[in-house]
A and B are shown apart, each in its own frame.
Chain A
């Protein structure tokens, strides 16, 4: 199994869910930009599930050496990399912020996903599970740089799914809404709309087992986004969302 963004609490909960439900992997490849915390997770997997893993440094903001990835092969990829950056008010005209958001969520990420898609396509088997965001469903004034990068990612995944369909590779797009993670700690999130990492992992696991194409982590978000997507633009532009 390949995990991009191994320090994400959702990624970790998903890996645990998978191992708990008895799926075996000869090795888990943990990609990370923070080796220290990932090492903790690797040891945890070793103790709790007698599961071997290998840590691979990957910082999307620095260049990627693909030759070091050659030995990595797996028919399951889970991608939870993401970068929220600063929202519109603080960060819109900060070019560095804008660039980082676009790079981590789309520009630098897509080539990495392509790299592994290619490997799966050649083997004609595999599943790619990628976390996009509800923010990509429609640009809103509060965080549309992030939203636009995620919209790009969602579109890429949809095309990739279409392309890989007859090559027996499945692509699952996950659209989390609010999640109670380190990233959102301290924000006043409505508990009914907020998933814990464990809930998210359970939901994603179900979607994976049912071979869904796209899934919201909490079903209620499907409904909310249906409404948000359908508000006519001349009204939407006046809303403070």
Chain B
């Protein structure tokens, strides 16, 4: 029996699906040999990007690089291999009174994936991207050498790799800073907004809150365009918790997650379902403002509660369309985008609006810049390509761009912003598509 490393593989959107070679090793010598003897390699973490970013002719999976290396409990600095999931990091650090400075909307991503996409959270306007807290990482480059990279050592490689989508090499391990917390709870306020103007005003008023995010019902038209709920939050202090939670303020609350067992047939998630979902989501909250204390899992990772929720979009899969528009004209642009979606009748189950603050000039490959960002899920169907084309046009017109880690079909001019990452060793299906397209 000869081993065959070819496998059917796709990322979170189940689109595209390709048959490619996947390898995983934990010994440095073997990883080096793999890089030496193959071309068109890309690293893959947990495949939580949506499209083709972590797919290539030869995929190196970091699933076996899953070990912690050190934890400075006094200063809140942790070091681990690149395949460690953020969920594992949280399990180690929360009981010690620490949290991640920056986390995306799912905890099931790897540390390598967080650096390569330079992920952002609900606090970009206050605390920036993941890279702000990375002290150093080790990178296996195109010559199979291991480089220690930091803002002071091999700094060119350091910044090229931040947000570099794996095109500068394989991140092997990383060391990063953590944030102090007193409790594992969040003091949350949810505020209903009837339309787009109101939600933008709420964002402006909430600029001093650490975490801000809004859910938009994007099937609404006319006066109700932009109907949404803003959720803002702060890490709760111990004295702010109700008495019954104060005994165990750093509670991890282990819940058993339901799993979506199979791909839903295509007809399930039609417009009606989206309408109903949004209707209930928005009607559930009857009061204008609701204040409460919620567990961090509920606040940061509401979608993680259902494993494999991506399967509800059916076998054909879905895309996530995430763009950023500049602060100056962003409101107007968002309005156009929401109008276009509402007209197309191609509803998005999930639409999330966030505010980006000033970006770090040094992290030139990172997606965020100051402005508004909207993320939308669309099921793959015959009308989608056309919708994406019209949305791309608006994004271009308003001087915005598309998040590479979500992209699988946008216009190359909106996704070709990476610099200093061209070599023939590390090439993804995405980078090929962008450069040939």
> Contacts A43-B68, A43-B70, A187-B1: A48 and B26 contacting too (C-beta < 8 A)?
no
Q: Contact: A186 with B67, CB < 8 Å?
A: no
Q: Contact: B68 with A186, CB < 8 Å?
A: no
A166 is an interface residue with CB less than 8 A from chain B = no
Q: Is the interface of A mostly helix, strand, loop or mixed?
A: helix
In Å, the complex CA distance between A37 and B26 comes to 8
Q: Contact: B5 with A47, CB < 8 Å?
A: no
Size of interface on B: residues with Cβ below 8 Å to A: 21
Interface string of B2-29 (1 = CB under 8 A from A): 0111000000000000000001111100
In Å, the complex CA distance between A58 and B319 comes to 51
Q: Which residues of A contact B27 (CB under 8 A)?
A: 36-37
Per a CB cutoff under 8 Å, which of A36, A43, A87, A188 touches B67? A43
Q: Contact: A48 with B68, CB < 8 Å?
A: yes
B418 is an interface residue with CB less than 8 A from chain A = no
Interface string of A88-132 (1 = CB under 8 A from B): 000000000000000000000000000000000000000000000
In the complex formed, the residue of A with least CB distance to B7 is A186
In the complex formed, the residue of B with least CB distance to A47 is B68
Q: Which residues of B contact A186 (CB under 8 A)?
A: 3-5
> Contacts A37-B27, A182-B64: A47 and B1 contacting too (C-beta < 8 A)?
no
Interface string of B69-105 (1 = CB under 8 A from A): 1110000001011000000100110000000000000
In Å, the complex CA distance between A41 and B3 comes to 27
Q: Contact: B4 with A41, CB < 8 Å?
A: no
Q: Contact: B64 with A47, CB < 8 Å?
A: no
Q: Contact: A47 with B3, CB < 8 Å?
A: no
Q: Which residues of B contact A48 (CB under 8 A)?
A: 68, 88, 91-92
Minimum C-beta distance from B390 to chain A (A): 41
Minimum C-beta distance from A132 to chain B (A): 22
A233 is an interface residue with CB less than 8 A from chain B = no
Minimum C-beta distance from A48 to chain B (A): 5
Q: Contact: A44 with B67, CB < 8 Å?
A: yes
In the complex formed, the residue of A with least CB distance to B61 is A185
Size of interface on A: residues with Cβ below 8 Å to B: 14
Minimum C-beta distance from B385 to chain A (A): 34
In the complex formed, the residue of A with least CB distance to B81 is A40
> Contacts A47-B92, A185-B5: A40 and B67 contacting too (C-beta < 8 A)?
yes
> Contacts A36-B27, A37-B26: A185 and B71 contacting too (C-beta < 8 A)?
no
Q: Which residues of B contact A43 (CB under 8 A)?
A: 67-70
Interface string of A26-47 (1 = CB under 8 A from B): 0000000000110011011001
> Contacts A185-B3, A187-B3: A47 and B26 contacting too (C-beta < 8 A)?
no
Q: Which residues of B contact A47 (CB under 8 A)?
A: 68-71, 78, 80, 92
In Å, the complex CA distance between A43 and B88 comes to 15
Q: Which residues of B contact A37 (CB under 8 A)?
A: 26-27
Q: Contact: A87 with B26, CB < 8 Å?
A: no
Q: Which residues of A contact B81 (CB under 8 A)?
A: 40
Interface string of A147-175 (1 = CB under 8 A from B): 00000000000000000000000000000
Q: Which residues of B contact A87 (CB under 8 A)?
A: 1
In Å, the complex CA distance between A48 and B85 comes to 13
Which among A37, A44, A47, A182 has the greatest number of chain B C-beta atoms within 10 A?
A47
In Å, the complex CA distance between A5 and B27 comes to 16
Q: A residues 42-69 with Cβ under 8 Å of B? A: 43-44, 47-48
In Å, the complex CA distance between A188 and B69 comes to 33
Q: Contact: B4 with A188, CB < 8 Å?
A: yes
Q: Which residues of A contact B23 (CB under 8 A)?
A: 185
Q: Which residues of B contact A188 (CB under 8 A)?
A: 1, 4
Q: Contact: B24 with A185, CB < 8 Å?
A: yes
In the complex formed, the residue of A with least CB distance to B28 is A36
The 4 closest A-B pairs by CB, nearest first: A186-B3, A47-B68, A44-B67, A47-B71
B: which residues have CB within 8 A of A?
Answer: 1, 3-5, 23-27, 64, 67-71, 78, 80-81, 88, 91-92
A: which residues have CB within 8 A of B?
Answer: 36-37, 40-41, 43-44, 47-48, 87, 182, 185-188
- 9 more A-B residue pairs beyond the given contacts A37-B26, A47-B80, A48-B91, with a C-beta to C-beta distance below 8 A: A41-B67, A43-B67, A44-B68, A47-B78, A48-B88, A185-B5, A185-B23, A186-B3, A188-B4
Could you list some 7 contacts between A and B, CB below 8 A? Answer: A40-B67, A43-B70, A47-B69, A47-B78, A48-B68, A87-B1, A182-B64
